[in-house]
Amino acid sequence: MTFAEALREGAARLAAAGIGDAPREARILLGEASGLEAAALQARIGEALEPAQADRFRALLAARGARLPMAQVIGRRMFWGRDFAVTPDVLDPRPETESLIAAALDAHFARVADLGTGSGAILVTLLAERPEASGLGTDISPAALAVAQRNAAALGVAERAQWAEGAWFDAVAGRYDLIVSNPPYIAEDEMAGLAPELHHEPRIALTDGGDGLSAYRAICAGARAHLAPGGRLMVEIGHAQGAAVAALFRAAGLENVAVQPDMDGRDRVVLGHTPR
């Protein structure tokens, strides 16, 4: 089987599984199986795969065809220009979450807490972008915290990151300049309509089992006790939750509350400040 034949077979199998942009995904998987980057892959397009490469490619196709998320299939996800390890124990970091990073980097912070850190993508990115900062990541899942620690070590911020097991503020002491979170915000009655890939991710990272707002209620309830004067609280939201979450921020006594869009123009981030 040549590389060209492998790409055609892969694209056909992925398309039959209902995956959009199957040719692009087949190329990604073939690059993963062969260890070749795009230019090298193209240069060898008429050559034959080695048997081990062909076997690996078909195994990756089978996994992706079963609708495992691409990040789980290849074990990583590019986020804010860095590769993060991804396993079934953590939420796949998504491009829209980069809107939260951009908003957080708009102002200075020395201490940051990331509630429900998952892969650690948010906290690790913020620490990598702000070498003078330190931070804490919390999660109720020990397996998720292990992935976060792995990412912190791989990306050179381990000495400035601490990790604690607990729900929301249960494991948080002291005050922070910035508190961020991408909590589970999908309502239970929306779960059945999700793409098949999402059902391979941790359920507790997707839904609260209720109206999708319970995590925001808990975060808002504890925020002012753990934010420094003038500190910022910032959360990712579902595209239809801006008004409801902003109201929770205001009810908690936060000021300058705003809803910001993602790159597609959908509401994605709610932020507010504590009084100085």
| DSSP states along 146-201 | HHHHHHHHHTT-GGGEEEEESSTTTT--S-EEEEEE----B-GGGGGGS-GGGGGS
Residues 147 and 261 in one domain: yes
d(CA 72, CA 114): 23
Q: 201-223, pLDDT tens digit by residue?
A: 999 999 999 999 999 999 999 99
d(CA 55, CA 18): 22
State residue 276's pLDDT score: 87
d(CA 32, CA 23): 14
Q: Which residues of the chain have pLDDT under 50?
A: none
Nearest Cα to 145, choosing from 170, 125, 120? 120
- Where is 243: in which H helix or E strand? helix 242-251
Into how many domains does the chain fold? 2
Residue range of the domain that includes 15: 3-66
Q: 178-200, pLDDT tens digit by residue?
A: 999 999 999 999 999 999 999 99
Which one-letter amino acid corresponds to residue 16?
A: A
State residue 19's pLDDT score: 94
Is residue 211 in some structural domain? Answer: yes
Query: Would you say 73 and 201 are in contact if contact means Cβ atoms under 8 Å apart?
Result: no
Nearest Cα to 180, choosing from 140, 151, 138, 241? 138
pTM: predicted TM-score of the whole model, two decimal places: 0.93
Residue 87 belongs to domain with CATH number: 3.40.50.150
User: Which of these three, 66, 84, 110, is where a domain ends?
Assistant: 66
Residues 9 and 102 in one domain: no
Token couple for 267: 């509401």
- Where is 272: in which H helix or E strand? strand 267-273
3 state DSSP class of 134: strand
Residues 240 and 264 in one domain: yes
Residues 148 and 217 in one domain: yes
Is residue 164 in some structural domain? Answer: yes
How many C-beta atoms surround the C-beta of residue 20 within 10 A?
A: 8
Residues 35 and 104 in one domain: no
